[in-house]
Structure 1
Amino acid sequence: MDRQRLLLSGLIATAFACALVAAPLPAAACTLKEMQAGGCSVDSGGSTGDEHVDIWAEMLDSDQPVPSTGDVTQEEAVSEQEGSDEWAADESAATPSRPENCSPVNVALCAVPPALPADPAAAVPGVVVTLRDIASFVPAGPGSEMEPGGWAVEDLPANFVAVASMQVVSGMLLGQPADVRFTPVGYRWLHSDGAVVESGSPGATWAVLGQREFSVTGTSHVYAESGEYTVALEVVLRAEYRFAGSGWRSIAGTLAVAGDPQRVLVGEFDTVLTNGDCNTNPSGPGC
């Protein structure tokens, strides 16, 4: 009895499997290109293939969005793509730039080189640039003018004017190309009679000052005796330095730069009354 039941169950299972094999498979889904070409038909709910193609054609001719194979419309796909682009842009901005030949195998190529400091002195703690460090940066010496030109009258002021201005000298400092700027901040005239005249300004001519000749000025000097003298001008300079790409940095202290000595001839002059010049009165004083 049990053998008959098993045999009957096997026959039923075999018949069910054959029915499944004999049943036609559902038609494969058509692509949009196949539908447009008219080479594909889909039987969906009793509709013919031609009806299905007409539906797709109407959707293509109209402004209605065509659904994708998933459950996402074109608007949602565009919105999702824009969000993806924004995320990629944020990631790109957050990621530091690396060399083009960066390779995970060679880690050294992927390293971003550190930026070099614009000021080597600032990069090394405790390093201070001094006047001794800029000894190779030599500014030009100042010039000096006087009035009257090259001579003076005993016991009357002679006026002196310095010719100096700010200047920049280039060279090497701490192994790097650098500039040193020298700015005049003081003036000192050294006279051979022992007198020293100091001023915070370079002085000016009597005409510029609006004064009469032989007037006392902030840079004038009076020679008490006749003779030949010399005067040397020293300009006191403040120094600053800079490297390429950095601002000016002050250097503590000042330095003095001297110009060439200038010769001054001092004479004694007497004031006398004359009756005309030597042409009209050849016997007059001094003729």
Structure 2
Amino acid sequence: MCGLVDGSSLSITATQQQQGTAPSTDTRRTDGGPSGPGTPSGPSDEAIDLAACMDDSGTTRCAPRPNRPAAPATTPSAQGTPAITISDLARFAPASVLATAEPGNVGIAGMPTNFTGAATPQIQGGELFGLPLRVRFVPAAYDYTYGDGSSATLTTPGQTWEALAQAQFTPTPTSHVYREPGAYPARVDIRYTAQVDLGGGWIDVPGQLTTSGATQEIRILEARTALVAHTCDENPAGVGC
């Protein structure tokens, strides 16, 4: 009996019985493997399948089974770059920014006080997870806390009245109006987006990193108006001069 084992070996099995003797089995392999009476006595799955394809005369009625596909090889995954989160970059964060208000951190109650927060993109170098890297921080938002119970999140650092070509005590995108005179602890926290460079170019890191600002005291004064006949240039000793 012939049975196709795979694409490179063929099992040949013959049975011979003499009078008064038990059947003996001789198995020979064409692949150079062990043969003879010491080989396993049971036919392989492939031999059984092929036997089912043969009729009583020994004629094969179906084509041999094609080679079975080899199982996919398993290889260890390549060691990639460690995942870096925004919290991993906290020790590289830029220094805090001091909020300033003009003119001279002094304002007038009921009138706009113009704030600015001087934050710029920065690149820091160092080592993380044993790898050298560079980190680039870009300001994305400015969280102002004005000290009077109000706050605002802005997307601009602000500019001086002079840079905006505006008169003093006029509204700006970053101005705030204090309703009562007093001293107010104001600050600005900067939110940064981050990118890292491990030697192959800049890679975005999801999320934002916030740097808390230092507190700045803003003095708000009360303004009083008076109708006078001359300006302070004309009468330096006049009321309000």
Identify the TM-score tier after normalising by the shorter chain.
0.5 to 0.7
Where does structure 2 lack aligned partners over 5 or more consecutive residues? 1-77
Identity over aligned residues, as a percent? 36
Report the counterpart of residue 88 of structure 1 in structure 2. none
Counterpart residue identity of residue 217, structure 2: R
The Cα shift of 1:195 comes to 1.1
- Count of residues in correspondence between the two structures: 165
The Cα shift of 1:285 comes to 4.6
* Match status 1:249 vs 2:199: no
The answer to whether the 8 Å contact 1:198/1:219 transfers is: no
The Cα shift of 1:286 comes to 6.0
- Normalized per residue, which structure has more helix? 1
Counterpart residue identity of residue 195, structure 1: S
Counterpart residue identity of residue 130, structure 1: T
The answer to whether the 8 Å contact 2:98/2:216 transfers is: no
The answer to whether the 8 Å contact 2:98/2:215 transfers is: no
CA distance 1:254–1:144, shift in 2 (3 Å): same
Report the counterpart of residue 221 of structure 2 in structure 1. 267
1:83-122 matched pairs, under 5 angstroms: none
CA distance 1:139–1:225, shift in 2 (3 Å): same
Quote the Cα distance in structure 2 between the aligned partners of 1:152 and 1:140: 27
Counterpart residue identity of residue 198, structure 1: T
The Cα shift of 1:147 comes to 1.1
Quote the Cα distance in structure 2 between the aligned partners of 1:254 and 1:181: 12
The Cα shift of 1:134 comes to 1.9
The answer to whether the 8 Å contact 2:116/2:174 transfers is: yes
Q: Taking structure 1 as the reference length, what is the TM-score of the superposition?
A: 0.52
Hey, which bits of structure 1, 4+ residues long, moved more than 3 A? 123-127, 275-287
The Cα shift of 1:125 comes to 5.1
CA distance 1:156–1:179, shift in 2 (3 Å): same
Report the counterpart of residue 194 of structure 2 in structure 1. 239
The Cα shift of 1:170 comes to 1.2
The Cα shift of 1:258 comes to 2.0
The Cα shift of 1:282 comes to 10
Q: Which has the higher contact order (CA 8 A, sep 6+)?
A: 2
* Match status 1:197 vs 2:122: no
Where does structure 1 lack aligned partners over 5 or more consecutive residues? 1-122
For the residue of structure 1 that corresponds to 2:92, the secondary structure is coil
Quote the Cα distance in structure 1 between the aligned partners of 2:160 and 2:187: 18
* Match status 1:139 vs 2:67: no
For the residue of structure 2 that corresponds to 1:273, the secondary structure is coil
RMSD after superposition: 2.7
Quote the Cα distance in structure 1 between the aligned partners of 2:192 and 2:175: 22
Report the counterpart of residue 116 of structure 2 in structure 1. 161
Report the counterpart of residue 177 of structure 1 in structure 2. 132
